[in-house]
Structures are given as C-alpha cells and as structure tokens.
Chain A
Amino acid sequence: MQAMGRPVLEVRDLHVHYKGHHAVRGVSLTVGDGERLVVMGPSGAGKSTLVKAIPRLVEPTSGTILLEGECVSCADRKTLRRLRARMGYVPQSYSLFPHLRVIDNIVLPLVRVHKLPKKAAVERAMRHLEMLGIGGLASRYPAQLSGGQRQRAALARALALDPAILLLDEPTSALDPESRSSVVDALYRIARSGRSMLIVTHEADFALQVADRLVFMEEGRIVVMAPPGEALRHERVKQFLSSILEN
C-alpha cells in the first residue's frame, strides 16, 4: 500500500505507551504529497495518541517518524520545534488560546516562530480567516465564538503556518450538528486545495468522499489501510461505519 506522490510523512513501526496503556502498537504509514489519509476506528483504538505522537506531543516509545525526509523521532529540541511548526496540528477542543483574540491566536506563532513582521502576519492571518468565512470574527475572543467558528479559526491558524501536512484530531467530535457542518465544509475546502492531511474523524460521509486512503485502527494497530472503496469491503470497516451512521 504505497502513498501517492513523494511521501511527506513516514511513520515506521511506531509504538506509544500513553497513560499506562500500550496505545499504539507497531503502526506504519505514509502520507504522500497532497494525499488525504483518514484514520477511523472505535474509541480507544489509539487514533488520537497516534496523531499526538507524530509531532511528539506524546513521546513515542519506539519507531521512526520522518517529515519530508527529516527525522522527527530523533530530532533535538531545536530541530523538533522547527519540524513541529511544519505540522499543522488541530485537536478536538481547547484549540485556541482563550486570552488572545482570534487574530492574535494566529499572529502569535507567525511572529514568534516564523519571525514574520507583525503587519505581514496580520495580513496573512486575515487572508486565511476570510478563506474560511470568519474574517469578520478576527477581533473576537474564542469564548465569544461558537464551537464551529472556533475550530475554523484553529484551522486558519494551522493553515497560516503553511504546514507540510495538517494533523487533525477529530476536529468535529466536540461540536453540535450545526457547528459540525460548518467545519466539515471548511475541511472539504482545505481538502480540495491539495494540502496533505492526516485526519482522525468519525464523519463517515466526509471520510469516504475526501480520503485517498482510509486507515482503520483497532487496539492500537492498523487493521485496514486501503482506498475507501476497497476498505469498505472489509467486514469490520462496514460494521463500524454502519454503527456510526445508525448513531
């Protein structure tokens, strides 16, 4: 199962122990340039831990992680900071800093990490907020936004950093249905732009339409990794998707 294009992300035989569990057990995958890899699976399958372990927000126990050929898993602190800034990580909640206005949430890493002048950073931030339809909310604080608006702002921040890959950890799971659809729309828009993405999601429709390949995880292992059409032929994937659709 080869990823299409030049691999942006390579994960080889990754093991992660997290909060007393062997949460990820020998996961290997690649994400090609412009590829959308969607990870699905039941709760406790190790999906979120996997996404957190790629930028080493959770330290892997063993295995290799490469971003554009550079070793993330063996990087020193300074290199790791640089590599992390190339991975746009968006968690399911607490994605924005509550004490900063939306615009400042985006400008902070652009100025402090990417060393952009403030004016250029603000212009870039506004461009991405407008692209995701929330340009008018730039001066609001996160608590003044709906959940969906918050997640779109977090996506705008991740995109403003021009990452090599977006790592999205269930970006819609903490949202009400209306907010969820606004975020899914934004995800469709980002997916169409050709950005490499690794997305953990329970959004079955989105997964099947957007994924170049679908990864199904269970008990820390990859059970299926295939294009959606092929993955759907696996009994366990079918069972899981129908249980999601029933709910």
Chain B
Amino acid sequence: MYDANTESIVSIVGAYSGLLARGVGMTLVLTLLGFTAGFAIALLLTVTRYMAPRPARILAQAYIDLFRGTPMLVQLLFIFFALPSLGVQLSAFQSAAVALGLNSGAYQAEILRVAIKGLPEEELHVAESLGLTGWQTMRHVVLPQAVRASLPGLTNEAVMLLKDSSLASVIGVMELTRAGEYMVSTSFKALQSLGIVALVYLVLSAIFYKAFRAVERRTAIPGFQNL
C-alpha cells in the first residue's frame, strides 16, 4: 500500500511537474504582489492615522474595519464579479492580486499600529523637543523602529497570505491549489494530488519563515533586545 502510494506520488509529480511549477510560480507571484502592495497600503494608512486631519483618519479606520470585517473570499468575488457592473473590469489574476493587496494592507496596518503603540512616549517627546516635524518624526524615528518591531507579525501575515492566495483558485487563477484540483480531476488520485499540494505549501511556508527570520537578524539593532 505504502509502496503503491509512493510510486503514484512520484508518477503524479513527474506527470504534472510543469503544472505544479506554474502553480507554485503563480502562488508566489500573488503572495509577493499582495504582500508588497499591502505593505505600501499599510504605510499609507499608518501615516494617515497618525498625521492626517480627522476626516482622513476616519476614512483610514473605515478601510481597515471593512477589510478586516469581511471575508477575503467575498472581497475577491466582489472585485471579480461586482466591479465590472461599476465599469471596472479586471482579469482573474488582477482581481486576485488586488484583493490580496487590499486585504493584507488592512492587517499590516494593524500590526504597525501595535508596534507604534509600544514605542516609549518619552522618545516622541525627545523628537518633538529637537524640533523635528511630525513627518520627520514618523520617517526617521517612528517607522524605522515600528517596522523592525513588526517583523514577527509581518512574517505571520506573509504566511497567511501565501495560504489565502489559494482563494484565487475560485475565480480560475491557475495557482497551486487550482493546479491540485486539476490533478485530482484528471488523475483521480485525490489523496496523492492534494497531499503533494499541501506539502508544497508547507515547504513554501518554511522558506518564508526562514527568509523573514534572516531579515529580522539583518535589521536587528546591535545590542537592543526588545525589537
């Protein structure tokens, strides 16, 4: 039984290697695009939250509440199926990338908020007392520390995003999960096909954890243990 499964796993990997490689590539592209766009959105939301006039701050908070308070699948389906009726037509790939970026932006903004809350008030007093503007304080004092302190949270967010990218399969994007579904439907070997897909996700997650840990080490402040 074990030998038969092992043999069929090897044969499935051989038979579908091209499809699997495409699926992994698309999963990585979606995750990295979503994470990078999300990080840019999170920075924008953070600066807005702390520095913009009240109406803009309320809008930033509403954005965060909206994207954290509704399922990502609903957001994805809305972008792909509902936006065309408002004149915005996006491909399946574009819809998935936009949904992942918008959603991750809200979560990353929360991770940054918690990190900023952890900064000593006295440090901000010092920045003010030196005559730095609000923007200079944000740019040179707050964000460099907050981003470092956020790295463990951002690592989790990146891995969540890697797994959430599987939702793109619902609208037909040929990423890893969709590749797995195709393998099941053509080989009729669900156990082996989905086992392979799960294993690839596990390996990718491990690589993400390692990569972010390396970034944490490289950006650590010498002698400073708290970040």
Chain A residues engaging chain B, CB cutoff 8 angstroms: 52, 55, 57, 81-82, 84-85, 87, 89, 91, 93-95, 97-99, 108-109, 112-113, 140-144, 157, 161
Contacts and interface: CB of A to CB of B under 8 A. Distances in A.
A81 B131 contact: yes
A24 B124 CA distance: 22
| Contact-residue bracket for chain B | 20 to 34
Interface string B117-149: 000101101111111110010001100110010
A109 B223 contact: no
A181 B148 CA distance: 34
A84 B122 contact: no
Nearest to B139: A112
B125 A57 contact: yes
B123 A94 contact: yes
B145 A99 contact: yes
Nearest to B119: A94
A153 to B, nearest CB: 12
Interface in B180-227: 221-225, 227
A87 B222 contact: no
Main secondary structure of the interface of B (DSSP, over half): helix
Interface in B81-140: 120, 122-123, 125-133, 136, 140
Interface of B: 120, 122-123, 125-133, 136, 140-141, 144-145, 148, 221-225, 227
A98 B131 contact: no
B221 A99 contact: yes
Given A91-B125, A94-B120, A144 B223 contact: yes
Contacts of A161: 130-131
22 contacts: A52-B125, A81-B131, A84-B128, A84-B131, A87-B129, A89-B126, A91-B122, A97-B140, A97-B141, A98-B221, A99-B224, A99-B227, A108-B140, A109-B131, A109-B132, A112-B136, A113-B130, A141-B224, A142-B224, A143-B222, A144-B222, A161-B130
